Amino acid sequence: MTSLRAVIDLDVEGPQISRHLYGHFAEHLGRCIYGGFYVGEDSEIPNEGGIRLDVVEALRSLSIPNLRWPGGCFADEYHWRDGVGPREDRPTMINTHWGDIEENNHFGTHEFMALCELLGADPYINGNVGSGTVAEMSDWVEYLTRDGDSPMVRLRKANGREQAWTVPFWGIGNEAWGCGGNMSAEHYAEELRRYATYCRNHGDNTLYRIAAGASNADYHWTETLMKAISCLGCEKDPRGIFQGLTFHYYTVPGAWDHKGSATDFDGAEYYTTIAKAAHVEELIAGHSAVMDCYDPHKRVGLILDEWGTWFDVEPGTNPGFLYQQNTMRDALVASVHFDAFHRHADRLVMANIAQTVNVLQAMILTDEESNELILTPTYHVFEMNKAHHDAASLAVHLLGEAQAIDASGTSVPRVSASASVKDGVALVSLSNLHLDEATEIVLDLRGHQVGSASGRLLAAEQVSDHNAPGRTGSVAPIDLELGDLEGGRLSVTLPPHAFATVSLTLV
């Protein structure tokens, strides 16, 4: 069996891993909001104000730090006033991006804020630049965050909410180079400055304004926005025009017109998928390098607010609803992303998987017939990695034969790993990316004595194994047997295509 050594200096703490790297995304798309998060007050499914309580409970176990809403592409055709006030009076609209279906606006601002309160998550609201106005966005900020007396405060109170909410994260448009208005970087930079100026900090609420960033490796976009950050009239907020800058990157095994199946794939497609997932690290480093030129002190945060696998939709489902299954391969895509995120925690401050329920690389699938809740393999990676939230990153040096290569020559690291420490406990995340072979990893732990160790394993016989109605526990974590801890060395053996976490109590 191939054996690697992973050297970890437990006393050399790196940058803090923001819990917001484990952020989420809920768009009015397919069955993410309707049927996923929200079933309406009259549903037989237990709910509070229409919000599905089983979904809330499952997500609370992940301690999800933030939730982005209402899109995505939908954000740039969403007009917030349509989603407040008595539900029966709310106008409908056509969701032109996703399925061309009628949106009844029953889930709006108050429902979203109630959902965030139930989840204990910070709201990340994405405003409309593509088809909205500066005044509309400015009013929405006032409606949500101002106290005392003002036109928007009176409207909010008339709609049943006395107190202002706290809204930390505010997105100014989405994918402005595409569905958010098809703008050039230069044009969007001007729009961004105008919109951001009027997204005010009301009372104690301080907005972290997020600029809509690049697609993949469009470094020109990032550079153009970084040049636009300073402003003469920033006395109202000396932090500048925006505080965060996004980019989007999806793991698509094939081409956009034939992306590949979520469950039916061969070894070559598996390795291609993992290689494409690992590519995220090059993109994070590339955007960070551009930002370093304009912001060497790292005041602006890089945010990957859409990531994850994008496959062909499940056969027989609406192509505009982006519903896909989720296998052990997705779990490894997630773990590889998190390892890269942890290594770049100095600049990358937030990431949002697309999307939380029933869309793309979801945590949760809800079955329409049985109403069963299915926790996906990706869900389990989020849960097993929870102790990385706000922990100090630790470098992991992998020594030994480190590549897995498939017959067609696609090569991926055999093992992906990262580690962190918080409150005297270190967590090591390990992925054996080899499709067919087990791998031994000897943890070489230095700088601290380790008192005790325990491990958890997420594995599956086939990498395409997944959870489904009637077999919701097919892929779920189990205890991992560890070798003896001797002289700071601990042997961990991972079966093929598996993910594990090892928790170490330091003395």
Q: Based on the shown chain and the rule CB under 6 A, indicate whether residue 67 belongs to the binding site for ligand AHR.
A: no
6 and 50 Cβ atoms separated by less than 8 Å: no
Nearest to 393 by CA among 16, 9, 6: 16
User: Of 30, 71, 108, 377, which one interacts with ligand AHR (CB under 6 A)?
Assistant: 71
Q: Which stretch binds ligand AHR (CB under 6 A): 68-76, 113-121, 423-431, 450-458?
A: 68-76
CB neighbours (10 Å) of residue 213? 26
Q: Dig out the tokens for 63 from the structure.
A: 């301690």
Site string for ligand AHR, 251-290 (x = CB under 6 A): ----------------------------------------
User: Of 306, 312, 330, 465, which one interacts with ligand AHR (CB under 6 A)?
Assistant: 306
Q: Based on the shown chain and the rule CB under 6 A, indicate whether residue 174 belongs to the binding site for ligand AHR.
A: yes
SS (H, E, C) 348-387: EEEEEECCCECCCCCCEEECCCCCCEEECHHHHHHHHCHH
Site for ligand AHR in 23-52 (CB under 6 A): 27
| Number of alpha carbons in the 13 Å side-chain half-sphere of residue 245 | 34
CB of 306 to ligand AHR, least distance (A): 5
Q: Which is nearer to ligand AHR, 307 or 382 (CB)?
A: 307
Q: How many residues bind ligand AHR (CB under 6 A)?
A: 10
User: Of 23, 72, 244, 413, which one interacts with ligand AHR (CB under 6 A)?
Assistant: 72
What is the SS3 assignment for 241?
A: coil
Q: Which is nearer to ligand AHR, 143 or 321 (CB)?
A: 321
Q: Which residues are within 8 A (CB) of 412 and not within 5 positions of it... i.e. 6 or more apart?
A: 271, 274, 275, 278, 403, 404, 433
Q: Which residue is nearest to ligand AHR (CB)?
A: 72
CB of 136 to ligand AHR, least distance (A): 20
Site for ligand AHR in 351-380 (CB under 6 A): 354-355, 360
Q: Which stretch binds ligand AHR (CB under 6 A): 65-73, 142-150, 336-344, 407-415?
A: 65-73
Which letter, b or e, does each residue of 447-477 get, where b requires 16 or more Cβ atoms within 10 Å of its Cβ? ebebeebebbbbbbeebbbbbeeeebeebeb
Dihedral sign for Cα atoms in the order 69, 73, 74, 80:
positive
User: Which residues are identified as catalytic?
Assistant: 175, 306
CB of 111 to ligand AHR, least distance (A): 19
Q: How do 24-25 and 66-69 pair as beta strands?
A: parallel
Q: Dig out the tokens for 209 from the structure.
A: 């304004």
Nearest to 210 by CA among 75, 301, 77: 301
User: Of 103, 111, 142, 175, which one interacts with ligand AHR (CB under 6 A)?
Assistant: 175
Q: Based on the shown chain and the rule CB under 6 A, indicate whether residue 76 belongs to the binding site for ligand AHR.
A: no
415 and 397 Cβ atoms separated by less than 8 Å: no
| Angle between helical axes of 109-119 and 53-60 (0-180°, round to 10) | 50
Q: Which is nearer to ligand AHR, 25 or 499 (CB)?
A: 25
The Cα angle at residue 194 between residues 190 and 199, in degrees rounded to 5:
140
CB of 60 to ligand AHR, least distance (A): 23
Q: Based on the shown chain and the rule CB under 6 A, indicate whether residue 181 belongs to the binding site for ligand AHR.
A: no
Q: What is the largest CA-CA distance in the chain?
A: 70
Q: Which is nearer to ligand AHR, 28 or 90 (CB)?
A: 28
CB of 76 to ligand AHR, least distance (A): 9
Residue 461 DSSP class: S
Q: Which stretch binds ligand AHR (CB under 6 A): 1-9, 71-79, 102-110, 423-431?
A: 71-79
Q: Based on the shown chain and the rule CB under 6 A, indicate whether residue 73 belongs to the binding site for ligand AHR.
A: yes
CB of 96 to ligand AHR, least distance (A): 12
CB of 385 to ligand AHR, least distance (A): 22
Rounded CA-CA distance 293/300 in Å is: 12
Q: Which is nearer to ligand AHR, 127 or 455 (CB)?
A: 127
DSSP 161-199: --SPPP--EEEE-S-TTTTTT---HHHHHHHHHHHHHTS
Residue 391 DSSP class: P
* Residues forming the site for ligand AHR (CB under 6 A): 27, 71-73, 174-175, 306, 354-355, 360
